[in-house]
Structure 1
Amino acid sequence: MDEILDPYLEYSALEKKLASRTIRAYSNDLRSFNTWLNERGVVLPEAAAADVAEYMAFLSSTGYSPVSIIRKLSSIRGFFRFIQASGQRSDNPVELLHSPRQPVRLPHAVSVETVAALIDVWNADSPISTRNRALLELAYGAGLRESELTGLTVSRVFLEEALVRPVGKGLKERLVPLGGAAVRWLSLYIDTARPLLAGGRSTPVLFLTYRGNPLSRMTVWNIVKRSAEMAGIKEHIHPHILRHSFATHLLRGGADLRVVQELLGHADIKTTEIYTSVDTTYLRGVIDRYHPRSVGT
């Protein structure tokens, strides 16, 4: 199986520059499909469209969600595109298959007041508190993903210019301006707290644990969860909500959709347009609450 999958996975990593966890997901999806095919006397490179369609039906019948099935079908489609392009097969059995309809999930944003309460629980009374405040200010102030926060290096933070250059999906870089609060707390963290956490060791990563190691994504989740608990916030809060709120609050304030797309690092504007649906819901609530012909109707 490895000799079949390895060239495709290497191509996805080196040429398409996909993240390692995406490569692992592709590998798991394709190995599962291959096992299912082998039980029916078929090998992966020779699967027909009917085999793929039957496998999708099997996944649905065993309780997989449309989102999971769409992802698995995407993995299979990509593999067959690769072997077709490399001349190992003349057709792509997945090309004409339609993905299940995916439910539209609107991103959940919280109010400006909730974000402020979440961030304000941390101050400069310890290196960890300073780090947490700087991290949350950056997450909300620049709309960074968890992976961008944990992978950010000191060399990618330009405090004098008030800019940060994160590395996003597909190893794509972008420049994001920083607001005054993010600059102040990042400056304080880098100058005072980070050297104490680093303990004299040289490390390029910006956010460090108390042992001087890079923060993990799970640690970022725990920081946000702990912040919500300390602030008495009852809503379910996770790091990506700060990114959602960053985008929603910008649009609500009148920012151009294309600008928000660039700030978020979205390759497709359709991804950013989801946030306009959220803001429309907010606007509908304003009309229903305040318009004289809507109140009480």
Structure 2
Amino acid sequence: MDKLIERFIHYLAVERGLAQNTLESYARDLNAYIEFLKRGGITDLNQTRRANIIAFLAELQRKGRATTTISRNLASLRAFYGFLLRDGLLDGDPTANLESPKIEKRLPKVLSVKEVEALLEGPDGGTTAGVRDKAMLELLYATGIRVSELVSLNLTDVNLNMGFLKCYGKGSKERIIPLGTVALQSVSEYVMQSRVKLLRNPSEESLFLNHHGQRLSRQGFWKIIKKYALTARIDKEITPHTLRHSFATHLLENGADLRAVQEMLGHADISTTQIYTHLTKSRLKEVYAKAHPRA
């Protein structure tokens, strides 16, 4: 069964071109499922039935896993069994007709414009790391790219003369995003002043470097944004996606076209982008309730 997972992950990587983070997520879900089957004495996937899938999902629920996690696990199993069935490695698909648990759509947490400004003012422009951190934060808020896309940027992906960047999102889809004046200035300052000080290997292609002169990791950036959230005294929960959510919400609040925001965020389906319109409506209600004398 372990070999079949390896074969499936290889298929996703080579033929579907999925990102490394997505591949790791699939592998994690499927390995947990296989371990569950082995504990029940099942060593052949042809022995699995619908009841085994339900029992596995029930165990996840007992462990307190979120509905989104359980739904993702079921999606991983559906994709895995579908792959095995197409390759003639299974007689039937036990995930057929299984309904995913209903997921309550939660509105993403966003920062106010003032909170964003406080966060962006946190880095010390007199230090090498501060100039880098300022450039990263400004770039995230200016473009709405994912943190994984941010740390994957190479020096050649940013055109400082034309004022745009090129990034590769989910499924390795390329998109071009314009850079605002402030972000462009911050990134230019970083490239000209700080990156050359952090650089150890002249052939290093990464845009954002850590103090070892290597590509900054997602974990590294996570620590950085948490640090500046504390400095700015922001008591909201900060996640790697916070500036992305804030970027989209602030654009829509100021009249940006939904399709344009969808393209900049790299959403395949506009319904994913529409959640931000619900967010702006809820914020308008809050403003009305506070400001109108007869609200």
TM exceeds 0.5? yes
Letter in 2 for 1:147: S
Structure 2 Cα separation of the partners of residues 108 and 60 of structure 1: 25
Structure 2 Cα separation of the partners of residues 180 and 158 of structure 1: 13
Helix, strand or coil for the counterpart of 2:107?
coil
Structure 1 Cα separation of the partners of residues 79 and 97 of structure 2: 13
1:3 matched residue in structure 2 = 3
62-71 or 145-154, which deviates more: 62-71
Structure 2 Cα separation of the partners of residues 134 and 47 of structure 1: 51
2:86 matched residue in structure 1 = 85
- Report if aligned partners of 1:33, 1:44 keep a CA contact under 8 Å in 2: no
Letter in 2 for 1:148: E
Identity in percent: 40
1:24 matched residue in structure 2 = 24
Structure 2 Cα separation of the partners of residues 26 and 183 of structure 1: 37
- Runs of 4 or more above 4 Å deviation: none
Counterpart mapping for 1:81-120 below 5 A: 81-120=82-121
Helix, strand or coil for the counterpart of 1:283?
helix
Is residue 56 of structure 2 the alignment partner of residue 55 of structure 1? yes
The number of residues matched between the two structures is 294
Report deviation, 1:87.
Answer: 2.3
2:272 matched residue in structure 1 = 271
181-190 or 116-125, which deviates more: 116-125
Counterpart mapping for 1:276-291 below 5 A: 276-291=277-292
- Report if aligned partners of 1:142, 1:177 keep a CA contact under 8 Å in 2: yes
- Report if aligned partners of 1:248, 1:275 keep a CA contact under 8 Å in 2: yes
Structure 1 Cα separation of the partners of residues 18 and 267 of structure 2: 15
| TM superposition score normalised by structure 2 | 0.94
Report deviation, 1:168.
Answer: 1.2
CA distance 1:199–1:3, shift in 2 (3 Å) = closer
Counterpart mapping for 1:186-197 below 5 A: 186-197=187-198
Report deviation, 1:91.
Answer: 3.5
1:119-143: per-residue Cα shift (whole Å, max 9, x none)? 1122431211111111110011111
1:201-244: per-residue Cα shift (whole Å, max 9, x none)? 32110001122111111111111111122223233323311111
Letter in 2 for 1:40: G
Report deviation, 1:40.
Answer: 3.4
Helix, strand or coil for the counterpart of 1:164?
strand
Is residue 182 of structure 2 the alignment partner of residue 178 of structure 1? no
| TM superposition score normalised by structure 1 | 0.93
- Report if aligned partners of 1:122, 1:129 keep a CA contact under 8 Å in 2: yes
Structure 1 Cα separation of the partners of residues 124 and 49 of structure 2: 60
Report deviation, 1:165.
Answer: 0.7
- Report if aligned partners of 1:152, 1:205 keep a CA contact under 8 Å in 2: yes
Counterpart mapping for 1:242-281 below 5 A: 242-281=243-282
Which structure 2 residue ranges, 5 or more long, are not aligned?
Answer: none
171-180 or 28-37, which deviates more: 28-37
Structure 1 Cα separation of the partners of residues 210 and 34 of structure 2: 41
Helix, strand or coil for the counterpart of 1:166?
strand
1:68 matched residue in structure 2 = 69
2:34 matched residue in structure 1 = 34
> What is the alpha-carbon root mean square deviation over aligned residues?
1.7
1:146 matched residue in structure 2 = 147
Helix, strand or coil for the counterpart of 1:205?
coil
Structure 2 Cα separation of the partners of residues 253 and 21 of structure 1: 33
Structure 2 Cα separation of the partners of residues 128 and 113 of structure 1: 24
Report deviation, 1:157.
Answer: 0.2
Helix, strand or coil for the counterpart of 1:165?
strand
Report deviation, 1:90.
Answer: 4.8
CA distance 1:46–1:161, shift in 2 (3 Å) = farther
Letter in 1 for 2:133: N
1:210 matched residue in structure 2 = 211
